[in-house]
Amino acid sequence: MTIALFPGQGVQAAGMDGGLAAAAPEVFDVASDVLGVDVAELCRDGRSGRADLASTRWAQPAVLTCSVASYGVLRDSGEPIAAVAGHSIGEYPALVVSGVLGLADAVRLVALRAAATDDAAQATPGGMAAVMRAERSTIEDICKQTGAALAADNSAGQLVISGATDALEQAKVLAAEAGAVVRSLDVAGAFHSPLMSPASAPLAAALDGVTFSTPTLDLWSSTTAAPIAGEAAIKQALIDQLVSPVLFRETVSGLAEKHGSALVDVGPGKIVGALARRIVPNADVRFVADLLPAGQGERQS
């Protein structure tokens, strides 16, 4: 049985539809109706009317749409899926394909989440940085010293830190002095840090208006690095996700221990599949992008 992994923000790029709009037009139609823009055009060209993939507000629902459509391609191929998980906002397509959320509700929630986190980012300027070749304990100590936050544990030797501008700059300097390789990320704010807490209340209110069903697959949260089920637990994990690190290494390790090492990257780009290869030795990692007709399989965004 296979584990399906969904990417988060960062894989968005013009052309990321890769033929998905033709393969799953109903998915793009639902997203377009909810968002009021042509999502197929947005994913193909990077822009559609007022929508632009360069903006968090549009990138996140666009990635969700392409990820759900990609899962349809995987499902139609006959792949037997045992479990699903996502990196950050990748948890939302995981909720959709496991039957917990309807697609329209997921698009609304992700659009609201994107706007709320973007507002929080503008209120307190900050950023994120990738940190390679460093122990997690070392980086956590640096975060405590500076006021930055661990934002993601992606794989062995690949962490992400987040924080207000001054705190992040201090943390980057200390990490480099400790021997780490540090690279600033092109993002709009300090995501997965306490600076995103203003987004919690609007997301919680929106979640209360949505119907949740029982998962039909083994659903894992990369916020808790554990299986998750039940409306209250899922809602809380989605709220906590805003200010908590993405525990992707722990999540994939736990899934592989339970279900084996057959994993598939479901969505634009090949980032989560590449991470999975680093996390699970000798993993059989495949990419839905390679099944698509329009060359998306070659995209490495």
Q: Is residue 84 part of a domain?
A: yes
Residues 178 and 231 in one domain: no
- Report DSSP state, residue 242: T
Residues 149 and 205 in one domain: no
Residues 164 and 37 in one domain: no
Domain containing 167 equals 125-184
pLDDT for position 1: 85
Q: CA-to-CA distance for 272 and 167, rounded, in angstroms? A: 28
Question: Pick from 135, 154, 184: which residue ends a domain?
Answer: 184
Residues 160 and 277 in one domain: no
Q: Is residue 259 part of a domain?
A: yes
Q: What's the CATH code of the domain at 163?
A: 3.30.70.250
Let me know: does 256 contact 263? Beta carbons within 8 Å. yes
* Closest alpha carbon to 101 in 202, 213, 7: 213
Residues 24 and 146 in one domain: no
pLDDT for position 292: 74
pLDDT for position 293: 62
Residues 108 and 226 in one domain: yes
pLDDT for position 185: 94
Residues 146 and 117 in one domain: no
Between β-strands 81-86 and 218-221, what pairing exists: parallel, antiparallel or unpaired?
parallel
Residues 115 and 129 in one domain: no
pLDDT for position 298: 37
Indicate the average pLDDT of the chain.
Answer: 94
pLDDT (tens place) for every residue of the chain, 301 residues total? 899 999 999 899 999 988 899 989 999 999 999 999 999 999 999 999 999 999 999 999 999 999 999 999 999 889 899 999 999 999 999 999 999 999 999 999 999 999 999 999 999 999 999 999 999 999 999 999 999 999 999 998 899 999 999 999 999 999 999 999 999 999 999 999 999 999 999 999 999 999 999 999 999 999 999 999 999 999 999 999 999 999 999 999 999 999 999 999 998 889 999 999 999 988 999 999 888 765 443 333 2
Residues 140 and 107 in one domain: no
Residues 174 and 199 in one domain: no
Residues 133 and 268 in one domain: no
Q: Is residue 65 part of a domain?
A: yes
Q: What residues act catalytically?
A: 88, 192
Let me know: does 153 contact 245? Beta carbons within 8 Å. yes
| Count: domains in the chain | 2
Tally Cβ neighbours within 10 Å of residue 160.
23
Q: Is residue 147 part of a domain?
A: yes
Residues 69 and 11 in one domain: yes
Q: Is residue 189 part of a domain?
A: no
**pTM, two decimal places:** 0.94
Q: Is residue 8 part of a domain?
A: yes
Between β-strands 284-287 and 262-265, what pairing exists: parallel, antiparallel or unpaired?
parallel
Q: What's the CATH code of the domain at 38?
A: 3.40.366.10
Q: Is residue 149 part of a domain?
A: yes
Helices in the chain by DSSP H: which ranges? Answer: 20-23, 25-35, 39-45, 56-76, 91-97, 103-123, 136-146, 165-177, 200-208, 231-241, 248-259, 271-279
Q: Is 237 helix (H, G, I), strand (E, B) or coil?
A: helix
Q: Is residue 112 part of a domain?
A: yes
- Report DSSP state, residue 280: S
Question: Which neighbouring-strand residues pair with 218?
Answer: 83
